[in-house]
Amino acid sequence: MDTADITPLSSTFASDNWAGVHPEALAAIAEANSGYAPAYGGDPWTAEFGSLSKRLFGEETEAFPVLNGTGANVLALQAAIPRWGAVICASTAHVATDETGAPEKTGGLKMLPVETPDGKLTPELVDREAWGFGNPHRAQPAVVSVSQVTELGTCYSPDELRALAEHAHGHGMLLHIDGSRLANAAAHLGVSLGALTRDVGADLLSLGGTKNGLLAAEAVVVLRPGAAPGLDYLRKINLQLASKMRFVSAQLLALYGGDLWERNARHANAMAARLADGLGSGGGSGSGAGSAAGIEVAHPVQSNAVFARMPAERAARAQAAFPFGSWPSEPGLFRLMCAFNTAPEDVDALLALLAD
C-alpha cells in the first residue's frame, strides 16, 4: 500500500483522541521492543507498573492494564457488582451515552442515569435512584460511577468526591471513577492523582492514558481490596488481556512514572483556557457572553474542553479549517477539545475564524 497520499490533519479541535502519540510514549514502546519477554502481563514492565500504582494510589492497590477506556469501565463495573446490581451515573456519563450499551450488553449491568445540570452527581442526586434496596423487583443500586473530568468538561473537587464516596458507602454501594481525563482534573485543581481517588474514598478507578498521549493504553485500578474480585478472569473474557502487554505497560510507566501526565494535561488545559479567554469567558471563571458576538461559553472551563453556543453557519466556517463537533443533545452547542500537542497559534487562528 502506498501511504504517500495519506495527509494527516495539521490541527483539530474535534477530540483529544484525534491527537497522535506523545514522543516519550513512542520511545517507551521502542525501548520495550527488544528481545523477548513473558506474555499476558508476566513481563517486567507490567510488574513495575504495578509497583508504581502502589506508590501513586496506596500499597493495597492492584492495577490491571487494558486496551481502551470502554473496556476499563465495563471491566471495573462488571467485577464490582453482582448480576442483579445496577450503576447510578449522570445522564451524560460516558458509560451511559458513549459506549453503545457496552455496560449493559457486555457487562450485563443495569444503568440508572440521573439528570444533572453540569455533568456532576451530588449525594442528593444519587438518592433519586438509590432506593428499592432489598426489593426483588428492582435492580439493586451497587455502584455510583462518576466521570472525572465530566463529559461537560467540569471537575469534581476532592470534597465533592469525598461526599459522594461517604454517601455511597452509607448505602452499601461503591464509588467508581471513570478517570479517562483524570490528569486534566488533577492539573486544573493542582492536586495529586491520589488526592482525587484513594484519599477521597473511591473504590475503583479507570485510569486514562489514550486521551493524554498514549496508544491504546489504560488501566483498571482497584483501590480497595476486594472491591472487584475476579478481574484477572474477566479481563480475558472481556477481550482486554493484551498478549504483548509490555508495550501497554511501558507507555503507562512513561506517562505516570514521572511528570509527563501533568505536563500534557497542563498544556491541554492551558490551550482550552486560551480559547475560552478569546471567546470572552474569563478562561474558566464560568460561562458568559463571548467577546465574539453571538458566541457564548456554556459551561465552566475546568479542563481541556470548551463548550460554546454559536450560530451554525459560523461554526461551519471554522470547522472547514479546524474540525470540531456539535453536541448531539443540544442544537447549537459545540464541543472544542484541546490536546497535549495543541498549538497556541492554532487556537488563535480558530478564534479569528470565529470572530464576528
Q: pLDDT class for 285, splitting at 50, 70, 90?
A: very low
Average pLDDT over residues 264-282: 91
Predicted confidence at residue 291, as pLDDT, reads 54
Alpha helices in 198-343 (DSSP H): 231-237, 246-256, 260-279, 312-319
Interval 156-173: pLDDT, tens? 999 999 999 999 999 999
Tell me what pLDDT residue 141 has. 98
- Residue 286: pLDDT band with limits 50, 70, 90: very low
Question: Average pLDDT for residues 10-14, to the nearest whole number?
Answer: 89
Region 268-290: mean pLDDT is 72
pLDDT digits (tens, 9 = 90+) for 178-215: 999 999 999 999 999 999 999 999 999 999 999 999 99
Which has the closest alpha carbon to 188: 302, 267, 341, 305?
302
pLDDT tens for each residue of 105-135: 999 999 999 999 999 999 999 999 999 999 9
- pLDDT score recorded for residue 347: 96
The answer to whether 94 and 73 have CB atoms below 8 angstroms apart is yes
pLDDT of residue 283: 40
- What average pLDDT does the chain have? 93
Q: Which helix (H) or strand (E) covers residue 24, if one does?
A: helix 23-32
Q: Which has the closest alpha carbon to 119: 98, 141, 143, 140?
A: 98
pLDDT band at 281 (very low <50, low <70, confident <90, very high): low
- Is residue 287 scored above 50 in pLDDT? no
| Three-state secondary structure of 255-268 | HHCCCHHHHHHHHH
Tell whether the model's pLDDT for residue 290 goes beyond 50.
no
Write down the pLDDT at residue 260: 98
The answer for residues whose C-beta is within 8 angstroms of residue 158's C-beta and 6 or more apart is: 189, 191, 195, 196, 199, 200
Confidence of residue 355 (pLDDT cuts 50, 70, 90): confident
The pTM is what? 0.94
Instruction: Tell the burial category of 259 from Cβ atoms under 10 Å away from its Cβ (0-12, 13-18, 19+).
Output: exposed
| Domains of the chain, each with CATH number or no CATH | 22-258 (3.40.640.10), 261-354 (3.90.1150.10)
Looking at residue 289, its pLDDT comes to 39
Tell me the pLDDT band of 6, cut-offs 50, 70 and 90.
confident
Map grid coordinates 464560568 to a residue. 286
pLDDT in tens, 318-327: 999 999 999 9
Q: What is the pLDDT of residue 276?
A: 95
Strand order in 85-90's β-sheet?
Answer: 62-66, 218-222, 204-207, 174-179, 140-147, 85-90, 110-114
If pLDDT is split at 50, 70 and 90, which confidence band does 288 have?
very low
Q: What is the pLDDT of residue 9?
A: 75
SS3 for 332? coil
Where residue 356 falls among pLDDT bands split at 50, 70, 90?
Answer: low
Calculate the alpha carbon distances from 191 to 61, 155, 159, 187 in Å: 19, 12, 12, 7
Convert the pLDDT of each residue in 63-89 to its tens digit.
999 999 999 999 999 999 999 999 999
